[in-house]
Each structure stands twice: as C-alpha cells, then as structure tokens.
Amino acid sequence: MKSQWQCIQENIGTWHGSFTQFDADGQQLKDTPSVLTLAETEPNKTIQLTLERTPANGSPDIICRSFSAPGLAPYVYFLRRVHLLKDLLSGQLLASLGRKCR
C-alpha cells in the first residue's frame, strides 16, 4: 500500500478548474477560475500547494501551504474524505488553513 506522501506526489503539477456557485434552481450565479499547483520544493521532503482564484472583476486571491514528509497533517485527507472535499470546494478548508503567498 502506498503512503499518503507517495499518493500526493502522484498529483504534483498544475490543475486548472473553477469554483462555481449555483442557486437553488441550478442556475449558475458565479464562476471563479482557479489554478492549483502542487510543487515539490525539496525532493521527497516538502511540497507546496498554491491555489490562485481569479474572480472576473477582481484581483487574484492566492493561498499557499507547505507540507513536509512524513505526516501531512489531518486536513490533507480531503483526498479520501468527502466532507472535507466539500469544505475544500467551498473554500472554507483552504481559508481556514491558508496563509497568503508573498
């Protein structure tokens, strides 16, 4: 069985997507393009997660977080747990962890 660290290393790269909000009737209210980057800053030691959200009429919002091996901390389990994935998609999880990139 692969370790959690090995699994996250398989996702290193840049992922393009968006945060989209819908009303109760399913009509799209807002779409915010996003770019999520996982970069190994120290081989087999540290990974940096960067999330950049760019609203249509606003400046980019950038959140960074670094992880070290072993032991990524419980909030990285969003890869396995649906309730944390929902928090991630709503921005609540990253807002609670994140610090702004400099």
Q: Where are the domains of the chain?
A: 4-100
> Tens digit of pLDDT for each residue in 22-62?
999 999 999 999 999 999 999 888 999 999 999 988 899 99
How many of the other CB atoms lie within 10 Å of CB of 61?
A: 17
Predicted pLDDT of residue 70: 65
pTM for this model (two decimals): 0.62
Smallest Cα–Cα separation from 21: which of 88, 90, 94, 92? 90
